[in-house]
Amino acid sequence: MNDSPDTCAEAVLEIVPLVMRAIRGEMRRQRTPDLSVPQFRTLAFLRQQPGASLSEVAGHIGLTLPSMSKLIDGLVARRLVTRQAAPGDRRRVTLELTGAGQAAFDTARTATRTYLARRLATLPAADRASVVQAMQLLRSSFTAAHELVAGEPLPPAGEEAAVGA
């Protein structure tokens, strides 16, 4: 009853956007000279994957190559990212955070995490443990190998109730 895929999807569809708005709002308040959310996500990716190519970053963030190229233009202009030709294949670019780029990311992210922690501090510890566990479960569902790209078949589909629900 409370564990059907549809019930779970309903709950996720209601709550995740709510929490996401809190995250985005806080990041907007904290981020440095007007860093957009995709730019911030790019910093986050390069923090974990230094030396990534433009295609790799674009694929991860979900932008086209031209769009990501322009986004990187802005980060390079602010001296948050370096862009160099890759040794061994001069077609590729190697992207890395500068010290300022690392600081910009760490500062905003820490502030946002602190904000969330203050929100979550209203819960009993046991409930927070439940939330942590659920996040791990969601990660396994949404990073699974079956990369869900448009049109690609996924696990067995449930009823596709349609219009006029």
Sign of the CA dihedral 35, 41, 43, 47? positive
Of residues 15 and 85, the one with the C-beta less far from a second copy: 15
| Residue number with CB closer to a second copy (84 or 141) | 141
- In whole angstroms, how close is the CB of 152 to DNA at the nearest point? 17
What token pair was written down for 71?
Answer: 């986004």
Handedness of CA 99, 103, 106, 109 (dihedral sign): negative
From the list a second copy, DNA, none, which binds 38 (C-beta under 5 to 8 Å, kind-based)?
A: DNA
Q: Binding of a second copy at residue 155 (CB under 8 A)? A: yes
Report if residue 85 touches a second copy, rule: CB under 8 A.
no
Identity at 49, one-letter amino acid code: Q
How does DSSP assign 87-108, residue by residue?
Answer: TTEEEEEEEEE-HHHHHHHHHH
Name the site residues for DNA (rule: CB under 7 A). 34, 36, 38-39, 53-55, 62-67, 69-74, 83, 86, 88-93
Smallest distance from a second copy to CB 108, Å: 10
Residue numbers 90-149 binding a second copy by CB under 8 A: 103, 106-107, 109-123, 125-144, 146, 148-149
Alpha carbons within 13 A on the beta-carbon side of 82: 12
